Amino acid sequence: MKKNKFIVIEGLEGSGKTTACQIIKKILLSHNIKKIIIVRQPGSTLISEKIRSIIKKDYKTEKLNKFSELFLLYSARFQLMENIIKPSLKKGVWIISDRHNLSSIAYQGGGRNIDQSLIQMLNNLINKISKPDLTIFLDVSVEIGLKRALLRSNFDRIEKQSKKFFLKVRKYYFKFLLSEKNKIIINANNNIKVMKENIKNQLNTWINKN
Ligand code: T5A
């Protein structure tokens, strides 16, 4: 029997993370892995979902300060780690998380220019609770990703950022993925069918090895 793992999905808006979470769940089920939880960040606990709505909403009369944004995101992450991820991992449940620390490195570090040493300090605290076993990065171009996000619904506060912002986010994702040992990078510009096949092939290989 395979030991349960903590799998993180990362990527820009519209890269297909939510879609990929369901694809990954089906792949795990095909390996007879039945105890699976999908979570999203920010979110997935009562308090974290309240924080999510603050993060996403554009309060026209008050701008969310970039440090407030950072600490809200980490508050949501600590709530999720302590209340769901840590106890579930202890019970042998596999975790699929839509975003994690790397999103903060890319969006708040890259996009908002917050000092990486501050973000790393917070990441170290989160990693003490539990570290991901695998990061799956869905690599989509900024243009394609935002086009998909807009087709789905109106832009939220972060999606309203400039193209320059997202190009920096993408650059930081790659900068930090270089040092990530356990990763799978998927070309997410392809259609869902091709993306699904690529995830299936690479994840099956990883599961069989680990
Ligand atoms: N954030 C989050 C930070 O700034 N720092 C952090 O630390 C964290 C954790 C979260 C926001 O918070 C920010 C980043 C985000 O701006 P969110 O709603 O969760 O907000 O935003 P996203 O994570 O980007 O979610 P999206 O729903 O926009 O994108 P997904 O989940 O990547 O994409 P998905 O699967 O919902 O697909 C979007 C649409 O595209 C289609 C789908 O059918 C859907 O309609 N699609 C494809 N179409 C064609 N080909 C493909 N390969 C497709 N894949 C999906």
Structurally, how many domains does the chain consist of? 1
Cα 94 from chain centroid (whole Å): 16
Residue 22 in domain: yes
Contact indicator for 131, 85 with CB cutoff of 8 Å: no
Nearest CA to ligand 1 atom 22: 13
1 pLDDT higher than 80: no
- When pLDDT is cut at 50, 70 and 90, the band that residue 152 belongs to is confident
Structural domain harbouring 204: 6-209
Residue 30 in domain: yes
Contact indicator for 187, 139 with CB cutoff of 8 Å: yes
Ligand 1 mutation pick, 12, 18, 150, max ligand atoms within 8 A of CB: 18
Distance, in Å, from the CA atom of 171 to the CA atom of 177, rounded to the nearest integer, reads 10
Residue 27 in domain: yes
Contact indicator for 19, 40 with CB cutoff of 8 Å: no
Ligand 1 lining (C-beta closer than 6 Å): 11, 13-19, 40-42, 55, 73, 99, 103-104, 107-108, 148-149, 152, 158, 188, 190-192, 195
User: pLDDT tens-digit profile of 74-98?
Assistant: 999 999 999 999 999 999 999 999 9
Average pLDDT on 26-55 reads 98
Confidence (pLDDT) at 118: 98
Distance, in Å, from the CA atom of 86 to the CA atom of 2, rounded to the nearest integer, reads 18
Confidence (pLDDT) at 2: 80
Q: Within a 10 A sphere around the Cβ of 109, how many other Cβ atoms?
A: 24
Residue 1 in domain: no
CATH number at residue 178: 3.40.50.300
Average pLDDT on 165-180 reads 95
Distance, in Å, from the CA atom of 94 to the CA atom of 158, rounded to the nearest integer, reads 30
110 pLDDT higher than 90: yes
Confidence (pLDDT) at 151: 92
Residue 163 in domain: yes
User: pLDDT tens-digit profile of 178-198?
Assistant: 889 999 999 999 999 999 999
Nearest CA to ligand 1 atom 49: 191
Residues 6+ apart with CB under 8 A from 136: 7, 8, 9, 10, 20, 24, 183, 184, 186, 199, 203
- Cα angle, residue 109 at apex, residues 172 and 69 outer, rounded to 5°: 135
Alpha helices per DSSP H over 34-158: 46-56, 66-80, 86-90, 101-104, 116-129, 142-152
Least confident range of 41-45, 134-138, 152-156: 152-156
Average pLDDT on 94-110 reads 98
Residue 89 in domain: yes
Average pLDDT on 15-24 reads 98
Confidence (pLDDT) at 153: 87
